[in-house]
Structure formats: C-alpha cells, structure tokens
C-alpha cells in the first residue's frame, strides 16, 4: 500500500522521527521518546503534525439544515466561530466516524474526519447532500493541520501568531473558549485557530494553507522551545487521549458501535427539529431512538490496572477464579497503555453491563495470566 | 549505519552477548530504538536451563510487546533485578546497565560479529 506524505514530511525526517503508517499516511510515531513527549504535553507543550486528518468544507444557504440531516448533532444551533464534536452514523445507527465540525463563517462549515475514514465520510456526505442547496468539497489536500497542546500553548501561540480584528470572526484569543475558533495572522497569511485537541490539556489546532505549513511548523518549534515545547508523535497522542478518556475510531468506535454504546449518547440530538418545528428525520434516527431506550448489551468502561502489565487492544476482560487464574470472559479491551502520568496501566474496554459499575474488580487476560484491573470512571486524568 | 560494540556478538533477533564466564545477555540499541520506551521486563528464572533460539521472556514497551530470545543455550545464573525495577535502563544503556541476564553457556546459536550485525540491522 502506498502511503501519503504530510507536507511536513521532510521536517520529521530531519528531526529524526520514527515514522509509521497511520490511516494511509506516513506519520511520526515518535521523535525521541513516547514518555518524554507525553510528559512535555502535560507539563509544557507538544507540537503535533495532524495533516493526515481529513478536511471537508460544507457551504451554502442550506448548510446547517444539511448537517442536521447528515450528522447526529444539531448544527442549526451552533453559533458562528464555534465547533462541535459529533458523529456520522449509518441507517442502522452504527458509527461511520467521529468528527469535529467548525462553523467558520456565514453558511460555512468545516468538518474534520479521521484520516482512515476521510473518503467514507466524503462519500456519505455527498450522497446525503441530494436535495440540499449545499456544496460539499474535500479541501484537505490544500491544508495542513498543526496542533500546539499543553499548559504553555497559549503563550507559544502569541509568540508566533498575531490577532487581526479584520479576520478574527468577532472574537479574540483572550476570549477564545474551548471548542471555539478564530482567524489569526501568521505573517501575511491567514490561519484558522481552534481551541480544540485530543490530549486533555489546553491547546490549539491550526489550519494553514499547505505552502506555508513548513514555515509555521518551524516558527512554532523555535518560538515554543523556550517554553519547553517539543515535537510529539502519534504514540504520545494515543497515550494522552487515553488518559483523557477520549475514544479512538477503530478502537472504541466502529460501524458495529452506536454512540450510546460508546457512552456518547449526549451528542445524539433525537429531538432536533426543522425550521417549522417538525421533528427532523436525520440519518440513523430511528435506529438510534430505539437504541436510546433499550438496555445496553455492552458498556464502555475505564479500567485501572493494579499490577504493572498493561492490557492491549483485543485482550479479553475476565473474571478471576478463586485461585487467581483467568476465568469467564466478560468483555474485550479496546485500548490500553501504561499511563505515563499516573504510573499504572489504564485501558478502555467494552464489558457486560453487570460488571460495569465503578469499583468492580476484574482482570485482563495478559497472555495467559490474570492481571488485576478495577472499573474506574473516566477520564483517568483531568488537568488541574 | 550504526556502530555496535566490537567486543560483543549478536543474534538476528537483536540480542547481544559478551564473552564473559558467565556470559551477559542484553538487547541491542537497534532493538530498543524500534521498541520505544520499555515499561516492563519478564526475564527467565534464575536456575532455568534455556535453549538457544527459544523464547525466554518478554520486553514490553509503551506501544508493543516483543518476545525475548536467548542467543545461547545454558543455565541462567543471574537476572538484572535493577532493570526489572527500572526498565528505562534498557533504553538508556542497552549495552551497559540495561543488560538482562547472565548465563553459563553450554551451546551457541548463530551469532554475528558487530560488522555482520550492523549489516543485518541496516
């Protein structure tokens, strides 16, 4: 399989990154050490190349009505320069992808799907656009996405970007709330800055036109260095999001999963209505409405390891027999890492509802041995 | 191409062994680079008789689990408890304080010189 290279590929190679295939892209797994990069984001800041993420523009007078029909959220209610975490579901309620949608101008929206699902989402949106006065376009090739995440992120941003009321969209960096965005200047260029992320820290995601991506990356590296910023790879991104209790498509989410299974039922707006007040029949609504009232067959839970060995995706969650051996299977691990911040293993798993209560003592079958884990409320880590 | 200590010999599974009696075994800097941060070590038991080329333990990093092979046959006489307690030693000093176990050698598998190993590892 051929992989796509980020516009920042040569920068990563020059920094000595260990590259890996991810969602069809050749991306940095780590630059030096997963743990050091993870800790830098918790204590100072990390710089991420997220150019593998998709980018779909949705514009036109019926853009909001179209998104209300195509996605599970309520976009007619989303104010300009705000963003929303949402999902796109199939008719049967299964999740095709989770994505963030930005309302970045009048009748103008920008959807960011996962790299591996970018084509699926584009095709689904184009199909669902029939009958709406809307234009759906893949604009990802012209854009790079760079994230600055960590407690020093705002200071670093101010070193490199400048505010300009002409392009800000009516807000300022001072007032920029979580899940809000504004236009800023990088030299003469305009970039879109959003206070969003996937790390559990304060931070920003910045869209820049591809020809200026290298210059912005270098400026952020240099400007952030005095604050302790380091480039960080996908390995740190994964352990950071897992500590923050955020799902990853392909692990916690897939087409056999509904938003309710994943504990994200709150983002499904079953009661959204058209302009005239009639209930809105969005894609997947009937299946999701039924699912919202049914008893779940499985529940996504957090697991805290009390031993040293981490659980991994695909391992069985089990009861322990009286003599401490692997017993009956009651679930499956979807993600697991040794938590760099907490110092013990953490994991997410789908388990039977009867063993999903906080404090339930279970085990994970780690290559034949019952490693003890306890059901724990997520997020595992919350910033102070 | 990386330089590997010329006083050691190497296996294609990325272990190194010195010529001491007993001999000391560890994993190479190349293996460590591929593994990422090591977080857990499972080493053979002291007293165990092990066969060259067999799986004798596990090296677990933040992202993956790898099997530990022994490059030689013999009796395990010591394991590095310091590295078990602080697996990061394997990352920082793979050819030194991050050694894994000591063995009374009774037979050898295929072993490479530093130069041959450098070509193998690339």
Q: Are A56 and A239 in contact (CB under 8 A)?
A: no
In a domain, B70, yes or no: yes
Residues 6+ apart with CB under 8 A from A139: A55, A56, A57
Residue in A209, A210, A229 with CA at minimum distance from that of residue A219: A229
The answer as to whether B89 is a domain residue is yes
What is the 8-class DSSP label of residue A141? G
Supply the ipTM of this predicted assembly: 0.77
Assigned CATH class of A299-376 = mainly beta
Using CA atoms, how far residue A273 sits from A66, A88, A90, in Å, is: 12, 18, 20
Asked if A369 reaches chain B (Cβ–Cβ under 8 Å), the answer is no
Going residue by residue through chain A, which has 384 residues, state the pLDDT in tens, using 9 for 90 and above: 679 999 999 999 999 999 999 999 999 999 999 999 999 999 999 999 999 999 999 999 999 999 999 999 999 999 999 999 999 999 999 999 999 999 998 899 999 999 999 999 999 999 999 999 999 999 999 999 999 999 999 999 999 999 999 999 888 999 999 999 999 999 999 999 999 999 999 999 999 999 999 999 999 999 999 999 999 999 999 999 999 999 999 999 999 999 999 999 999 999 998 878 888 889 999 999 999 999 989 999 999 999 889 999 999 999 999 999 999 999 999 999 999 999 999 999 999 999 999 999 999 999 899 999 999 999 999 998
Contact assignment for B37 to A29 by CB distance below 8 Å:
no
Q: Which CATH architecture has domain A4-54+142-243?
A: 2-Layer Sandwich (3.30)
Domain extent at residue B47: 9-108
Task: Give span(s): CATH 2.40.30.110, chain A.
Answer: 299-376
Q: Which residues of B touch A238 (CB under 8 A)?
A: 63
Pairing of strands B55-61, B65-69: antiparallel
Instruction: Cite the residue boundaries of each domain of chain A with CATH code 3.30.1360.120.
Output: 4-54+142-243
- CA–CA distance, A192 with A286 (Å, rounded to integer): 36
A18: region left, alpha or beta (phi > 0 left; psi from -120 to 50 alpha) = beta
SS3 category, A319 = strand
Within a domain: B60 = yes
What secondary structure letter does DSSP report for A325?
-
* Full strand arrangement of the beta sheet holding A181-186: A181-186, A189-194, A203-209, A143-149, A45-49, A229-231
A34 to B33: CB separation less than 8 angstroms, yes or no: no
SS3 A369: strand
- Min Cα distance A18 → chain B (Å) is 8
Any binding-site annotation on A21? Answer: no
Contact A84, A151 (CB under 8 A): no
Residue among A22, A30, A241 with most chain B CBs within 10 A, to mutate: A30
In terms of CA atoms, which chain A residue is nearest residue B32? Answer: A33
- The shortest C-alpha distance from B42 to chain A (Å) reads 10
Alpha carbon of residue A192 to chain centroid = 18
Residues B86, B93: contact at Cβ < 8 Å?
no
Pairs of residues, one from chain A and one from chain B, whose beta carbons lie less than 8 Å apart: 36
Whichever domain contains B18, its CATH number is 2.40.50.100
Residues with Cβ < 8 Å from A37, sequence gap 6 or more? A30, A31, A46, A230, A231, A232, A233, A235, A236
The domain tally of chain B equals 1
Residues B99 and A89: their CA atoms lie apart, in Å, by 51
CA A156/CA A228 separation, integer angstroms: 10
A248 touches chain B (CB under 8 A): no
**Partner B contacted by A87 (CB < 8 A):** no
Rounded Cα gap, residues A197 and A246, in angstroms: 10
Q: Is residue B1 part of a domain?
A: no
Q: Which residues of chain A neighbour B94 with C-beta distances below 8 Å? A: none
């Amino acid at each position: 399989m051929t992989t796509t290279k980020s516009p920042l590929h040569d920068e990563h190679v020059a920094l000595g990154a260990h590259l890996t295939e991810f969602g069809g892209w050749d991306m940095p797994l780590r630059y030096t050490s997963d743990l050091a990069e993870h800790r830098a984001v918790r204590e100072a800041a990390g710089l991420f190349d997220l150019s593998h993420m998709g980018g779909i523009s949705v514009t036109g007078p019926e853009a909001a009505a179209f998104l209300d029909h195509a996605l599970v959220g309520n976009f007619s209610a989303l104010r300009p320069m705000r963003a929303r975490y949402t999902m796109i579901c199939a008719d049967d309620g299964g999740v095709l992808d989770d994505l963030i949608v930005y309302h970045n101008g009048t009748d103008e929206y920008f959807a960011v799907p996962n790299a591996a699902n970018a084509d699926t989402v584009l095709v689904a949106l184009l199909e669902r656009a029939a009958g709406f006065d809307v234009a759906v376009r893949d604009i990802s090739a012209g854009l790079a996405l760079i994230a600055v995440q960590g407690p020093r992120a705002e200071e670093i941003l101010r070193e490199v970007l400048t505010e300009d009321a002409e392009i800000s969209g009516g807000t300022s960096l001072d007032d920029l709330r979580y899940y809000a965005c504004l236009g800023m200047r990088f030299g003469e260029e305009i970039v879109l800055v959003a206070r969003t992320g996937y790390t559990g820290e304060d931070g920003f995601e910045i869209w820049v036109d591809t020809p200026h991506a290298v210059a912005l990356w270098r400026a952020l590296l240099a400007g952030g260095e005095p604050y302790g910023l380091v480039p960080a790879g996908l390995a740190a991104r994964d352990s950071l999001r897992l500590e923050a209790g955020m799902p990853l498509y392909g692990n916690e989410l897939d087409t056999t999963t509904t938003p309710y299974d994943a504990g994200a039922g709150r983002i499904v707006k079953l009661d959204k209505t058209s302009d005239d007040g009639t209930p809105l029949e969005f894609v997947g609504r009937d299946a999701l409405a039924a699912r919202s009232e049914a008893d779940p067959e499985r529940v996504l839970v957090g697991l805290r390891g009390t031993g040293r060995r981490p659980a991994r995706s695909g391992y069985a969650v089990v009861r322990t027999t009286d003599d401490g051996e692997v017993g009956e299977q009651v679930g499956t691990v979807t993600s697991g890492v040794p938590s760099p911040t907490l110092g013990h293993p953490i994991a997410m798993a789908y388990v039977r509802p009867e063993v999903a209560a906080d404090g339930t003592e279970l085990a994970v079958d780690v290559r034949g041995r019952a490693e003890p884990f306890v059901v724990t409320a997520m997020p595992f880590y919350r910033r102070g | 191409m990386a330089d590997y200590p010329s006083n050691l010999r190497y296996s294609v599974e990325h272990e190194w062994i010195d010529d001491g009696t007993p001999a000391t075994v560890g994993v190479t800097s190349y293996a460590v680079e591929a593994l990422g941060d090591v977080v857990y070590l499972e080493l053979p038991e002291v007293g165990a008789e092990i066969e060259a080329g067999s799986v004798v333990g596990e090296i677990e990093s933040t992202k993956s689990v790898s099997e530990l092979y022994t490059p030689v046959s013999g009796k395990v006489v010591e394991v590095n408890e310091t590295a078990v307690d602080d697996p990061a030693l394997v990352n920082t000093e793979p050819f030194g304080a991050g050694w894994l176990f000591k063995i009374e050698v009774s037979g050898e598998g295929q072993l490479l010189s530093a130069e041959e190993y450098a070509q193998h590892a690339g």
